[in-house]
Amino acid sequence: MKKVFIETLGCAMNVRDTEHIIAELNKKNSYEPIDTLEDADLIIINTCSVREKPVAKLFSELGIFNKKKKDGAKIGVCGCTASHLGKDIIKRAPYVDFVVGARNVSKISQAVNTPKMVAIDINNDDTTFEFEEYRNSLYRCSINISLGCDKSCTYCIVPATRGQEISIPQEIIINEIKKAVQKGAKEAFLLGQNVNNYGTNFSDGREKTNFTNLLKEVSKIDGIERIRFTSPHPLHMDDEFIEEFAQNPKICKAIHVPLQSGSTKVLKNMKRGYTKEWFLNRCEKIRSLVPNVRISTDIIVGFPGESDEDFADTLDVIKKVKFEQIFNFKYSPRPHTAAIDMKDQISSEVSTKRLNDVIELHKIHQDETMNSFLDQTVDVFFEDLKPNGEIFGYTDNYASVFVKGSEELLGKVLPVKITKAYRTSLFGEILETK
């Protein structure tokens, strides 16, 4: 067996693509994954393009990897930056052997054996391709339910790197989950840029369906105890979806509701398709139906034209919703997006100040919500053994919990009494072993 080292940047979909890349290389090219770059016969960076920073990181890392690699080892660039820069990557870093875009994972085996191959067609339909099985986790199976994105948020490069949205047929999704269950998976993690737009566009022209129906079907699979998904879009959070989320006991009570901005004016300029009021109304409905829900969000500060009043609306939404987790970003101008040419770009100083305001406000809510776990008993699904002898897992509502324990707890859901609360994680003691 030859050895492949893969570094994965970006989102959960890229993590899943890496699993597919490993599976393909394993079956067709006899590679097995390793953690040490120096021993690898093939080095791959699975890139992200969503902000400028990861792109800059790619070129600095390529240089480092090229110096560290063993003689004769190949280097490949995959993922979203591969899609958007294509052959320019080989121009800038001539030692790169191939470039395979985010929508071209099925071409990876061919690319490894074709010098300087560049495969970046974003109309490529990877759904027709049956990937081999490979998973990072025995207990959680990540499953793509759709590829690409049909929205055109004016700041976002993803539609240009992953192409148009196509839903993967339900039977493929269900079969994949059933296969993973046979190998020990208990949690299904459904992935797409817009999961709750599932079912509107299939490549074989079949009848439309929707995400709520898919959730119902997945929850019928024996052996699946927990269902998670990311990312849903606030625009498609209709009552039927929220009610299913609330009522279905297998669906974890954690939900990502990406705000981006609290200002209706900015949301319009971002082409998000909802208003501040709609967003608040959806979160209120979720909180009223699911009292223990944890809501996470994404926020961009410093979008072109964002005034102090607009930003005050973002803080206002944060105060009202009290998100349990916020992923916050300074707006980063991206090629192939409408916002790059917008007037009124905001200075870096103003964006930094706003980012800090978000972080400080969020800290108050984090402390409040994490402290509320103290002395509570929660069910934790243990999935990872840490080097310091702690076992790690998530609660149903996606809080991180560490306990002292050993390997035999992995893959089990056990009651834990929380004894310490930190800002981003909890520590506790197992009450009994089932």
| Residue 142 sits in the site that holds ligand SAH (CB under 6 A) | no
Q: Which is nearer to ligand SF4, 201 or 219 (CB)?
A: 201
Q: Which residue from 6, 43, 48, 290 is in contact with ligand F3S, where contact means CB under 6 A?
A: 48
Rg (CA), the chain: 22
User: Phi/psi class of residue 167: alpha, beta or left (left: φ > 0; alpha: ψ in -120 to 50)?
Assistant: beta
Binding status of residue 331 toward ligand SAH by CB under 6 A: yes
Which 114-173 residues touch ligand F3S, going by CB under 6 A? 158, 161-162
Contact string (CB under 6 A) for ligand SAH, positions 229-258, x = contact: --x-x------------------------x
Alpha carbon 338 to chain centroid, angstroms: 23
The footprint of ligand F3S on residues 78-97 (CB under 6 A) is: 79-80
Q: Does 260 bind ligand SAH (CB under 6 A)?
A: yes
| Residue burial 90-117, b: 16+ Cβ < 10 Å; e: rest | beebeebbbbbbbbbbbbbbbbbeeeeb
Q: Taking CB positions, which residue lies at the least distance from ligand F3S? A: 10
DSSP for 138-181 reads SSEEEEE-EES-----TT--HHHHH-S-EEPPHHHHHHHHHHHH
Give the one residue of 98, 131, 139, 155 binding ligand SAH; rule: CB under 6 A. 155
Task: Decide if residue 215 touches ligand SAH (CB under 6 A).
Answer: no
Q: Build a one-symbol-per-residue string for 280-299: x at contacts with ligand SAH by CB under 6 A, - elsewhere.
A: ------------------x-
Residues near 378 by beta carbon (within 8 Å), at least 6 away in sequence: 395, 396, 399, 401, 415, 416, 418, 428
User: Can you tell me which residue has the tokens 């770059």?
Assistant: 37
**Out of ligand F3S, ligand SF4, ligand SAH, none, which partner does residue 332 contact, by CB within 5 to 8 A per kind?**
ligand SAH
Give 310-354 as a DSSP string: HHHHHHHHHHHH--SEEEEEE----TTSSGGG-S-PPPHHHHHHH
Binding residues vs ligand F3S (CB under 6 A): 10-11, 13-14, 48-50, 79-80, 102, 158, 161-162
User: Where do contacts with ligand SAH occur on this chain (CB under 6 A)?
Assistant: 50-51, 155-156, 158, 193-194, 231, 233, 258, 260, 298, 300, 329, 331-332, 334
